[in-house]
Structures are given as structure tokens and as C-alpha cells.
Structure 1
Amino acid sequence: MKHPLNVTSEIGELKSVVLHRPGKEVENLTPKYLERLLFDDIPYLPAVQREHDYFADVLRNRGVEVLYLEKLMEEALKTDELHQQFIDQVLNESKSNLNGSRQTVEEYLHSFSTDEMIRKVMSGVLKSEIEPEKKVHLHELLDDYYPFFLDPMPNLYFTRDPAAVIGNGVSLNKMCEGARKRESLFMDFIIKHHPRFSQHDIPHWYDRDEYYPLEGGDELVLSREVIAIGVSARTSAQAIEKLAKRIFARNGTIKKVVAVEIPKLRAYMHLDTVFTMVDHEKFTIHHGIEGPNGNMKIYILEKGMDPDTLNISERSNLTQTLKEVLGLQELVLIPCGGGHEIAAAREQWNDGSNTLAIAPGVVVTYDRNYVSNDLLRKNGVEVIEIPSSELSRGRGGPRCMSMPIYRKDL
């Protein structure tokens, strides 16, 4: 039986990808709780769904199998035991809002069918939607300033971050922010219990119960032998070291992990918001991540003499480092917004550098980033634009919205 996971590059022909179509969780955003839930604005649900459907159709029209997170999850929870186990784990990880109401919420979740329960967990449980006669505690009957028993998960349509496939293994990520910590629970259950994956010995390069945060937007597979990981606002250096040691111990192909430090700003949330690979020797970049004279803090991690050690060497120039680790003679860095002081900042904010390569030299981008898109085309890259007026409000682009699980080898 063919192994279900294979990602040995950023640009190999994309064959299978996991998406999540935005749902009711987006409508459960309100201005008062935007910061808590990591949004800057409230997308209009019918429009954001139309845009996401267009994105999915673009991929299907290019021969990509589109798998939906919610459907995979439903197919994974095929026994009463797993159904109960999932609800238990969700409630355990949501205890800060339950305030003694666990039994009430548990009974409420059990009143739904499996697919409805999964969507309810994703969209959040409002205190007001549980009938008064089912509230058995005084505090449940009193008005409360906070409206949710279970917070919604509006960031879930960015499937890139909670888990990432590297080679034939998976990184089940410890999400940095509280609003997103439960998101990796879905892929954890899918990998362990869905028949497509559970029959295979799938290495875990990282696990969601680790101490240090790591997110998929910072994980880039540059080649069979090299991965790059951003040291960012959401991913720690300690997590990168731990992942590197596990990969070197169990994957005989990957030889180098390139750790790239980027400014810890919301605008530069992950490495893929400022840097992506679009062809064998072509990359997008937002030059705001570079210091004076183009200098950066870059570290190459390689296997040490024993499993618990790493050899770490420092570099300062991204172009030279990429040439070195990828064995390239020439390399093209395509600047977001053409490097213009206004266009670059505007288009980076709208994920002009967050491209999804579906084949070498073929990328999906947001239509709003017309300066960056034009420059990509001038550099010989085929650009497929998708509408983005509502999708972009979540501060993530096509790469953020996709979790590739299978690419053809280059």
C-alpha cells in the first residue's frame, strides 16, 4: 500500500492537500474578542466561503486531490470510544472556560451526530445556546461577561500551521497562542485513527504536547536533504533543535536544517509570510526581514556525533546560504511588492510572499497583490490568482490555507 505522506520539496507537483472550508467559527467573531482570537477584522462568511471554494476548485482543476479536515475527522471517529475520547480531550483542553460546566457541555456535544459535533467544536459553544433547564449550576444560569463555553476556532482555515508533512513523517505542532492550541488535535486524531493513515508507521517529528512552540508556517521543505524553519514569534529555537534531532535520528535523507531568524512581529508571523520557494532557483522575499547590508541570523543544524548532539554553524547572508545548502550556482530572490517602500509593506501585510507552489514555477496567489504577481510573471513564474477580499482578513495566504500531504518527487 502506498505511503500516504510524501513531501520532499516545496515545489514538487502537488497531488493531495488538506483544507478547511471556513464555517460558523468565523461568524462567532466579535470586535470585543478579536485580539483574543487572533483576528484583526471579521470576514463575511458567505463571501469567504465563495473565495475558499474558488481556491479549492483551482487546485482540483490542476489535478490536486482536495481533502477537507472536517470530513477526514468524521471518517476517523468511527467508534463510540473514539467519539468519547475526542470530546474528553477537547473539554480537557478547554477547561479555562468551562468553570465547572464540563458535564453540561459534554452532554450537549453528545446530542449531535458525529459530523455536527465536529463542526460545533470548531465553531464554538455559546452559553446561550444551551437550554436553561439543562444548566444545573447557579453560575450557568447567571449572566456572564464571556459568551462561550468553548471558544470558536476561526484560524482553522489556515491548515498549514497545526501540522506539517516533512518527508514521510509529520510534525504535530505545539501551537504558540492559546486561541490555536486545540487545532492540532484534529490532525492528531486523523493520523492515528483514519484508515488512510493509521495503517502506516508514520514518524512524528514533533508532538503537540511538547513544551516549546512550533508552527507549520515556519516549516519549509527546500529539498530532499534540506528543510528551513523560521525562528519567529510563533516558533522557538528549542523546538527547532528538538525536531532536527528527531529527523536526523529517523530520516536518513535530510542532512541539514536551516534556522532563519525573522523579526518577531505580527506582520511577519511565520517564515512563509516573508519567504517562499516558487521554482528550483526562485524564491519570494520581503526584504524587511533583512538587516543592514542584507545580513540576517541564519544557522545550519547538522547531525552530531551522537543522537543528542547537533553541529551548528552560523551564516549571515540568505542568498549565499541557499546557494550553499541547495547546491545552486544562481538564485533569484523576487521581492514582495517590487521592494517599493509602500507596495512591499502593503502586499506583505496581504500575504504577497505567501505563495503556494503546485508545481515548479507554478504558484497560487491572492489577486490583490498585483505588484508582486506581475513581478513573478516577469521572472517566468505562472501565477494563478484567487479572489481574496475576505480570505485575507485572517492574515494568511494560499500557503497558509493548505497542508500538502503528498507531492511528487522532483
Structure 2
Amino acid sequence: MGADAVPTRHREDPNPAGPDPEPDGPRLAVTSEVGTLHTVLLHRPGDELRRLTPRNNDQLLFDGIPWVERAQQEHDTFAGVLRERGTEVLLLSDLLAETLAVSGAARIQGISAAVDARRLGHALADELAAFLRGVQARELAGILMAGMTFDELPFGPDATSLVRRMHHGADFVIDPLPNLLFTRDSSFWVGPRVAITSLALPARSRETSLTDLIYAFHPRFLGVRRAYESHTAPIEGGDVLLLSHGVVAVGVGERTSPAGAEALARSLFDDDLAHTVLVVPIAQSRATMHLDTVCTMVDADAVVMYPAARESLRAFTIRKEGDGRVSMSGSDPFLPAAATAMGIDKLRVIDTGLDGVTAEREQWDDGNNTLALAPGVVVAYERNEMTNARLEEAGIEVLRIPGSELGSGRGGPRCLSCPLSRNDR
């Protein structure tokens, strides 16, 4: 068996309309934010973070230049906590390399998405694509994630390429994807189906091409059906909360558009994956880029929430009626609307911090962005001391992890993880 081969079934056709699969591990399905977490997709930060400089970090959506080795240590701690609690951890880089090894179609599609002939010119693009088609799967996966500079091109200068003449050697011929570590955004699961998203900002738009390859061609996801797929209306996984079985909240703000939220709702209704979608407008700012930066679930009836958003968040309610019609109402206060949709009296709310300054600081540091491993058990950044203390006072078990470097891209434990398999509650 060759260096790229893996002893598993080869699939060239994703066949999105096929039956739900019988996976090798736990059943792939997610209907809750807090049900016991069985399987999760993470991405251990790698060479793509080494591409960040003071000149490009804003464009690549990072607030600073992370210390890569420390970020990797922090991520290893995070993955270790999940494994210790019985969660199977799948790493995106491994899945991508395995996908490229077993599928020629995946290799062609991944290269096509990365090599932009409009920017490079057809001659240079064709030469680079031809080279990449012969690269071993693990190395190719690394290039698709970490990018490539003009200095790193594997062939000598071409005197007839104006593109090469006019670019500096450190410029990117393939852009890096440093935000890949936030696996929540490029895909999310609703029931037994996966939604491939449309990321709003150019720095992240190619991430979904890699996620799409994995779900389409990796044998672990053989036969998985799609819940939603959009190439026009932006929607990101950080804006989607599965409040309870059949009830989904979608934030609309900097990253998810009203059109994306409505398209998701109608798709979920068509596939009988939800009966109610709450569309929640949030401020279009860096501090509140996604709904899960101001609110996440920590128990079946409890959320941790930024106090400044507690009274201001409102929701438009979209329902699938019994006769198949879609109704819309609102806007109404979010918390009561959510409780009504979930069929409970009220949601317990645990505020971030005790005073306005602490709350603002800890919201910025992802104090609201927790990952539930089971009802009443969450992973949180250790730096948010006040929020963690308030969670524990409310009876929530908090598993603390370091995040000083991981957080430089504005994301906490929920952002860093894409659940693939959970208990219903």
C-alpha cells in the first residue's frame, strides 16, 4: 500500500441524497447544545498561524500575533480534557490528509479552490496546479491549510510571468487559513445532517472548501446528507444554537445575513429538522461577531449571557405550521421567546461578571463562549475567573483550560469545536 493509502473504502461520488450512514463510531447526529458529547471535530493550530505578521493579522482576522507553540499546547490541553471525559476527538488535518489520499476527486477540487487563475494568471496557475496534483496527501493538506508564498514555489522564476515579477517573494500565491482552528463556523450539524456554511469574510471563504471535501469524500462520513448548503447567503456556525430538539436560534449580525438565516430556516423545515427558528439580531461589531459570543447554553434550561445583551436581545420567530405553511412573528424579547419555543417556563440566565467593566472584559475574552460536554458540564477559558465562579455558584461544573494564545483570533471553546455526535439531551 502506497504512502498515501489508507485501509478504508474509497469514494469518489459524495452522493448527498443517499441514506443516512452507519458510522464506524457513535451515531453522527446533534440535536442539542448540551447533550453528552461523543464526537467532536477540532483543528490543532499549525503552520497557518506562522503566516501571521503585523502587516496581515488584521486582514486575517486576528487581534495579535499568537505564540504558535503555546497555542498548540493550549489546544492539546483542550483536546485532552475532552478525551478524559470520554469524547472522541477527530482532527481536521488528519481527516483532510486521509480524504486527499483516498479520493482523486477531492484532490482536484481542493487544488482548484486554492489556485486562483484570476489572480495568478492561467500559465502560473496551471503550472502550480500540475505540481500540487503530484504532491503526497499529507503535504498537500498542509499546503491547502497553511498556504504558499511566491518564494516557496517549487519551480524557478518564469521570465514571462508578470504576476511573479510584480509580487514580493513573501506574498501569498495560496492564502493561508489561520481561522481553521474555529471549526464551529464552516459546518454544523442539525440532527443527522450536516450544514456547510457560506463564510462572510474573504479571509475565511476557502475554509468551507476543505470542510466540504471531508464530508463529501472521507469514508467516516459516507452517505451523510446535507441539511443546508449556500454559496450566496452568508451564515456561520457560531451564529447557530440548537436550543432544544426542533428549536434553533440564529444570530444575524456581522457574519450571518437575514437572507442566510431565512434560507436555513426554510431548509430545516423542508427536511423536518426543526419546527421553530428564532432569528436574533446582534450588534455588527468585532466584539459580538456571532451569537455565541454573547450567549451559550450550559444546561438544558440555562444559558450564560453577557448582561448588556440580556434585556436588549430580541427575536423574530419563524414557525413551520401543521399545514406546512411558514409563519413569522416578532420581534419579541429573546429569552421569553426562546423559553416558549422550548416548551419551558423560563431560561435560567447566568450573567458574565458582577459589574459592567468585568462583564465587558470577560465577554471580550470569550467568557460567554463555553462548550458543554454534558448537561451542567462546560469547558471555559480559565482567565474568565468571575464568569466561571458565577457558573459554579449556579451548579455548573467548569473545566478550565488556558486560552491566552488561542483567544487571539477571538474565539472560545465553543468556537474551537464542531460537535458531530451528542445525546439528545
- Identify whether the pair has TM-score above 0.5, normalized to the shorter chain: yes
Residue number in structure 2 paired with 1:276: 296
Residue number in structure 1 paired with 2:56: 33
- What are the superposed Cα offsets for residues 320-342 of structure 1, whole Å, 9 maximum, x if unpaired? 1122111222432111123x211
Q: CA shift at 1:201, angstroms?
A: 4.7
TM-score by length of 1: 0.92
Residues 277, 317 of structure 2: 8 Å contact kept? yes
Residues 263, 289 of structure 1: 8 Å contact kept? no
Residues 43, 93 of structure 2: 8 Å contact kept? yes
Q: CA shift at 1:115, angstroms?
A: 1.1
Tell me the secondary structure at the aligned position of residue 89 of structure 1: helix
Residue number in structure 2 paired with 1:192: 216
Pick from 339, 350, 359 the counterpart of residue 334 of structure 1.
350
Residue number in structure 1 paired with 2:241: 220
Is residue 286 from structure 1 mapped to residue 303 from structure 2 by the alignment?
A: no
The 5 Å alignment of 1:197-276 reads: 197-198=221-222, 200-202=223-225, 204-209=226-231, 211-251=232-272, 254-276=274-296
Residue number in structure 2 paired with 1:88: 112
Q: State the distance in 2 between where 1:323 and 1:81 align.
A: 46
Residues 157, 164 of structure 2: 8 Å contact kept? no
TM-score by length of 2: 0.89
Residues 383, 402 of structure 2: 8 Å contact kept? yes
Task: Assess, with a 3 A threshold, how the Cα gap between structure 1 residues 133 and 306 changes in structure 2: closer, same or farther.
Answer: farther
Tell me the secondary structure at the aligned position of residue 82 of structure 1: helix
Residue number in structure 1 paired with 2:195: 171
Q: State the distance in 2 between where 1:288 and 1:137 align.
A: 58
Q: State the distance in 1 between where 2:174 and 2:228 align.
A: 26
Q: State the distance in 2 between where 1:160 and 1:24 align.
A: 20
| Structure 1 outlier segments of 4+, above 6 Å | none
When structure 1 is superposed on structure 2, of 238-247 and 328-337 the one drifting more is 328-337
Task: Assess, with a 3 A threshold, how the Cα gap between structure 1 residues 185 and 103 changes in structure 2: closer, same or farther.
Answer: same
Q: CA shift at 1:136, angstroms?
A: 5.6
Q: CA shift at 1:237, angstroms?
A: 1.0
Pick from 61, 67, 80 the counterpart of residue 90 of structure 2.
67
Residues 98, 137 of structure 2: 8 Å contact kept? no
Pick from 311, 315, 319 the counterpart of residue 298 of structure 1.
315
Q: State the distance in 2 between where 1:289 and 1:399 align.
A: 19
Residues 315, 321 of structure 1: 8 Å contact kept? no
Tell me the secondary structure at the aligned position of residue 192 of structure 1: helix
Task: Assess, with a 3 A threshold, how the Cα gap between structure 1 residues 326 and 131 changes in structure 2: closer, same or farther.
Answer: closer
Residue number in structure 2 paired with 1:105: 128
Q: CA shift at 1:139, angstroms?
A: 2.2
Residue number in structure 1 paired with 2:172: 148
> Structure 1, unaligned stretches of length 5 or more?
none
Pick from 385, 389, 395 the counterpart of residue 410 of structure 2.
395
Pick from 6, 14, 18 the counterpart of residue 41 of structure 2.
18
Is residue 344 from structure 1 mapped to residue 359 from structure 2 by the alignment?
A: yes
Task: Assess, with a 3 A threshold, how the Cα gap between structure 1 residues 285 and 123 changes in structure 2: closer, same or farther.
Answer: same
Task: Assess, with a 3 A threshold, how the Cα gap between structure 1 residues 295 and 350 changes in structure 2: closer, same or farther.
Answer: closer
Q: State the distance in 1 between where 2:344 and 2:164 align.
A: 66
- What are the superposed Cα offsets for residues 248-277 of structure 1, whole Å, 9 maximum, x if unpaired? 1112x5210111111111100100010000
The 5 Å alignment of 1:39-58 reads: 39-58=62-81
The 5 Å alignment of 1:339-378 reads: 340-378=355-393
Give identity over the alignment, percent: 39
Q: CA shift at 1:310, angstroms?
A: 2.4
Give the counterpart letter for 2:380 in structure 1.
T
Residues 110, 144 of structure 2: 8 Å contact kept? no
Is residue 9 from structure 1 mapped to residue 32 from structure 2 by the alignment?
A: yes
Give the counterpart letter for 1:220 in structure 2.
L
Tell me the secondary structure at the aligned position of residue 366 of structure 2: coil
Is residue 312 from structure 1 mapped to residue 328 from structure 2 by the alignment?
A: yes
Q: State the distance in 2 between where 1:301 and 1:81 align.
A: 39
Give the counterpart letter for 2:205 in structure 1.
K
Instruction: Say what the alpha-carbon RMSD is for the aligned residues.
Output: 1.9
Q: CA shift at 1:12, angstroms?
A: 0.1
Task: Assess, with a 3 A threshold, how the Cα gap between structure 1 residues 9 and 107 changes in structure 2: closer, same or farther.
Answer: same
Is residue 323 from structure 1 mapped to residue 347 from structure 2 by the alignment?
A: no
Tell me the secondary structure at the aligned position of residue 63 of structure 2: coil
Tell me the secondary structure at the aligned position of residue 257 of structure 1: strand
> Structure 2, unaligned stretches of length 5 or more?
1-20
Q: CA shift at 1:246, angstroms?
A: 1.3
Task: Assess, with a 3 A threshold, how the Cα gap between structure 1 residues 306 and 30 changes in structure 2: closer, same or farther.
Answer: farther
Residue number in structure 1 paired with 2:3: none
Q: State the distance in 2 between where 1:217 and 1:254 align.
A: 18
Give the counterpart letter for 2:330 in structure 1.
E
Q: State the distance in 1 between where 2:193 and 2:263 align.
A: 15
Q: CA shift at 1:305, angstroms?
A: 7.7
Tell me the secondary structure at the aligned position of residue 6 of structure 1: coil
Give the counterpart letter for 1:343 in structure 2.
T
Q: CA shift at 1:295, angstroms?
A: 3.9
Residues 104, 134 of structure 1: 8 Å contact kept? no
